[in-house]
Structure 1
Amino acid sequence: MHRETRFLISRKPYAIDLDSLTVAEPGPRGSVWAGVSAVWFRRRRGVTVACTGTLRDLQDTTPADVHAFLAAHTDGRYGGTAHGRWDGERYWGAQEPFQMALDLTVLEPMLAAYPDVPPGYDGWWTFQPA
């Protein structure tokens, strides 16, 4: 992934929580699952939606930090795994009221401030070539 200087929804950018890197224990061959929390905008049936979720990748070695993880994460064909989505009228995601409320505290102001990077996130990161 690489960081872009401006937001273009067509390039499928993500805003990353740089303090959220998680790394699983290495497997028998040394590869590890690693991931970061992220938010992003997409268009669904002509409507802009705000999403929250994770970007995960199976990496050959344990990433030293979040920037090493992002540099090694080059296969974006599956994109992020959404945990919550808000279109301004409807929420999709967790069914637990506490998690819904947490998601909406990020997604509602995020959608209202489109296309700004939400506070606490670094953006915009994309898999698209420079």
Structure 2
Amino acid sequence: MEEYPSVPASKCRPALVRQTAVSEEGGKPEIEIVYGTSKLLKDQYPFDLFVEHVRDMNEAGLWQATRFVLGKKAWLPWSEDFFVPGVGCPTPVIGRLPATYLKKLEIIMRFRDRLQIDDQLSLDVR
């Protein structure tokens, strides 16, 4: 597994949980995530997942349109250092992707794999 980041991010960000595991060293839970950003840049990153419609944003618990950066993954320890519940929320989970987005995510990941797109690639569409 990849190394953990040494410190949490400077601000809270939405993230998609891709998979969970238990560390071999110490048996602690860990989570592979992809980060969300409000910088959509659709023309440069067409193979990321975009959640933009208000109904879908509400179901996913997003407060603004969000691009999930599928090529940039991180393993994080499941701890209060990295996962903080929002104000008035009992857990760090803010929502769930609508079912249609789960299907979109599956299709996008297949395309990414087929085209061997990694986190260094951005497409310059003109």
TM-score normalised to the size of structure 1?
A: 0.26
Q: Which is strand-richer, 1 or 2?
A: 1
TM-score normalised to the size of structure 2?
A: 0.27
RCO higher in 1 or 2 (8 Å CA, sep ≥ 6)?
Answer: 1
